[in-house]
Amino acid sequence: MKRAIALYMATLFFGAFMVGAETTVDGRPALVLEGKAAKLVVDLGGGSIADFHLQGSDLNPLAWDSWSFSENPDDPPTPGPRSMGHFLCLDRWGPASAAETANGMGWHGEASRVVWKVVEKAKKKKDGIRAEMAAVLPMGGLTVERRIRLAKEAAVFVVSESVTNDKPLGRIYNMVQHPTIGPPFLDETTVVDANARKGFMQGGSLPNPEEPSVYWPQALTRDGKAVNLRHLTDDPQPNVASYVIDEEYGWTTASNATKRLLIGYIWKTEDYPWFDAWRHVADGKPFARGLEFGTSGLHQPFPILVEKGRIFGRKIFEHIDAGETQTRSYACFLLEISDGYQGVARISYRDGELTLWERDGSPEEKLVMTVGELFVD
């Protein structure tokens, strides 16, 4: 509790906007981790992973900024916390209730609306470059502590996040990772793959929004037209579709063969059982794609989640008791690919290696990446 209070007090000094910052990137305080293979930038004004790119290249798949959705996107961005690239949705995914909104709760919770404090600056360790940061969510009564490890030799980083309920009472909540890819990595040729299974389109009628159901990568528009969500050109419908994961590990990738780059995520399904695909188009071109994974697959306020309970047998919210801490992890990686790459058919993680099999390729056509132990904090 004392640590949570100290972190909260730190956020009150946001006017300086330099709490715990090691450096600044584009005029904003940031934590930078740099290995031989890749560079990682965390924006401390909201805790977003704003940049992850290969050394020797400036192509950042996570080049997306929520400022582009503001009322005046052409104006210079104002200082202050906001979501970029890969941000964390905590304590909710989607909208607050009307009463909560009136009290100041925003979309996707507070994690990307507060300043994050560096707890341990980036240091070289035996297994990579490590750092720790934390944030307090005053309305939600939660503290989140994040540990990041960037591999020395490989373009892979691992994040472990622990959420503690600082209140004297238990509560329900959700935790959703929101990686967002944008141009120039995102264009009409970018392909998204995942091991998602049964799903549904957001915006369906209650009390059964999961009807009609579909199977990844299929989705349906409002008029019933079938859509392949691996691709995005000039029509974003449906904007959001959610799917369950049936395997031990969930994974998703986005690959751009013309730019010869792939970004991917892998996580334990017991941590994040849902994959949520968001798509947005601007001026007739792909503008944003959310490769989201989390504890919920229903984009609704808590009262509706409680009433619904489960979808496809999966929980759509979590409970955290008073003083309890819950920890979840994921890994992100970059790989160079050929200019004819067709996308990912499947991924395995075994004995410290990630193996990616290409779609429509022979069994021998695979990419292998040595990553070590991913899910040991």
Residues in CB range of 15: below 8 A, 6 or more apart: none
* 375 located within any domain: no
CA angle 322, 328, 330 (to 5 degrees): 165
Closest CA to 133 of 39, 64, 49: 49
Is the Cβ–Cβ distance between 137 and 130 less than 8 Å? no
* 139 located within any domain: yes
* 376 located within any domain: no
Residue 377's pLDDT is 64
* 353 located within any domain: no
* 374 located within any domain: no
Is the Cβ–Cβ distance between 4 and 136 less than 8 Å? yes
The CATH number linked to 231 is 2.70.98.10
Closest CA to 327 of 281, 372, 375: 375
* 181 located within any domain: yes
How many domains would you assign to the chain?
Answer: 1
* 263 located within any domain: yes
Q: Each residue's pLDDT tens digit in the chain (377 positions)? A: 545 544 444 444 344 333 223 788 988 999 999 999 999 999 999 999 999 999 999 999 999 999 988 888 888 888 899 999 999 999 999 999 999 999 999 999 999 999 999 999 999 998 899 999 999 999 999 999 999 999 999 999 999 999 999 999 999 999 999 999 999 999 999 999 999 999 999 999 889 999 999 999 999 999 999 999 999 999 999 999 999 999 999 999 999 999 999 999 999 999 999 999 999 999 999 999 999 999 999 999 999 999 999 999 999 999 999 999 999 999 999 999 999 999 999 999 999 999 999 998 767 789 999 999 999 76
Residues in CB range of 116: below 8 A, 6 or more apart: 20, 42, 44, 45, 46, 47, 133, 134, 135, 146
Enclosing domain of residue 58: 2-347
* 170 located within any domain: yes
CA angle 285, 289, 290 (to 5 degrees): 165
